[in-house]
Amino acid sequence: MKRLVLALLVCLNGYALMAQSSPDSATYEIQRKRINGMLAQRSQKFGEYEESLSKHTGIFGLQTKKDIRRSNEILMAITETDNQIFKQIKVLLDYRMFEQKQVETQKNQVQDANLTYMRTINRLREQNAKLIKEAEEREKAVDKDSNKYKIAIAVLIITSILLALIRKRTVKA
């Protein structure tokens, strides 16, 4: 029995240390306090049990049936308290597992969102690079067209000057 109580206390202390490293919710704290209260009740009942074992109200300092029944009743109450403690610890562990699953789910959602953002950023970068390349190609094409137009204009100007000169010479002669 004492080993059982010690094991429970060690488990609860371990959970208390883990709980200090991460913020607890109010429900988790309430459940821990409930279990600690039940453990205190159990310790009190165990003290009563040890006291009842030491009582010897019979003749010649022996235990009577009444003393033994009282000790057994206290022992049954301790067993009932132990069962309640086990149920409450299971609730506490289930709640902790629920919290851990929630954290895991949130972590996965955040990772998925981050991956989606990264994919979107990469896609936009590729589109941006493609648009920059297209813009550069258009600028080159416009520069080529612009050079063609400049040459054509220069040829037209030279041709018109030559025609004007030829007309002036033919008019003078």
Which of the four pLDDT bands, split at 50, 70 and 90, describes residue 54? confident
From 5, 11, 26, select the one nearest 90 (Cα to Cα): 11
pLDDT value at position 9? 52
pLDDT digits over 5-19, tens only?
A: 455 555 555 555 444
Integer CA distances (angstroms), 51 to 5, 38, 45, 71, in order: 18, 20, 10, 9
pLDDT value at position 21? 43
For the chain, list the domains and their CATH numbers. Answer: 2-101 (1.20.1270)
Residue 96: pLDDT over 80 = yes
Percent of the chain with pLDDT over 70: 84
What is the average pLDDT score of the chain?
83
List phi, psi (to 5°) of 56: -130, 95
From 96, 92, 100, select the one nearest 36 (Cα to Cα): 92
pLDDT value at position 104? 95
pLDDT digits over 27-39, tens only?
A: 888 888 888 999 9
